[in-house]
Amino acid sequence: MSARLAPYPDDVDQAAVREFHARYGQPELSQLVVVIAAYNEEAGIGQVLADMPEKCGEFVVDVLVVVDGASDNTAAVAAENGAYTCVAARNRGQGAALRLGYRLAAECGARYIVTTDADGQYDNAELDKLLDPILDDEADFVTGSRRLGHEEAADRVRWLGVRVFAALASVLTLRRITDTSFGFRAMRAELVCSVTLTEPQYQSSELLLGVLARGARLLEVPMTMRLRGTGSTKKGRSLVYGSNYARVMLGTWVREFLLRALRAGRR
């Protein structure tokens, strides 16, 4: 899955949003919404939602699960566990599902958006560690880092890849970054909705470099990353993942840093 996404909203986005509003009307979500992209995660999503805090600081925690064309009961299990669900008619990739979730959450009142995965790799009890720096106006985008915290790694190639891509991102952005692909993140809703997102799958570095190109204050905090609780990765084998991840990171840097700087210089 390498074709770039059409600009938001494409036909799949529009149909999913219409169906969402047909079921929920015009809901006013909490100012804090956790967005989860899920594809065939019926075995794990229930526990992830059961472990989600009901409140974080002064905010009620609402969860929006964007079901990415799943062929199992992911949507039903998520709804049974108290999440709002938005169902895309076909599988387009994690990046497409998250982009849809960001926009829909913001449309429904979210000021702060958190992402986590549907497979139980992250510790939801650490939610406040992500959000507090934004609420204290110390950051605009906060991401966990397994290298600053604790990592359970079963794949040595992926272990090495995390470090290689962190080094590459640090060189490209001229700032120290330790983890570009940690999926547990918090951000201001208006910030994430301002970033150009075109990657259907290898989207984490696209978002990270995109917010930095817009001058966002980035903070990494120590976090825990566990082995997947259920299922298997959808991103391909290690070498495929690595080559695609490098392509996306370098392409995003060219688009967001180099070309933006050249356009600004012509004005």
Query: Can the peptide bond before residue 9 be classed as cis, meaning omega within 30 degrees of 0?
Result: yes
User: How do strand 32-38 and strand 59-68 relate by DSSP bridges?
Assistant: parallel
Instruction: Report how far residue 233's alpha carbon sits from residue 56's, in angstroms, rounded to the nearest whole number.
Output: 29
Q: Which of 153, 116, 149, 114 is closest to 134 using CA atoms?
A: 114
pTM comes to 0.94
Q: Backbone phi, then psi, for 149, in 5-degree steps?
A: -110, -120
**Cβ atoms of 200 and 96 closer than 8 Å:** yes
Strands 185-188 vs 141-151: parallel, antiparallel or unpaired? antiparallel
Per-residue pLDDT of 110-163, as tens digits, reads 999 999 999 999 999 999 999 999 999 999 999 999 999 988 876 788 889 999
pLDDT at residue 158, as a whole number: 84
Task: Report the pLDDT averaged over residues 96-111.
Answer: 98
Give me the domains of the chain, ranges plus CATH numbers.
11-266 (3.90.550.10)
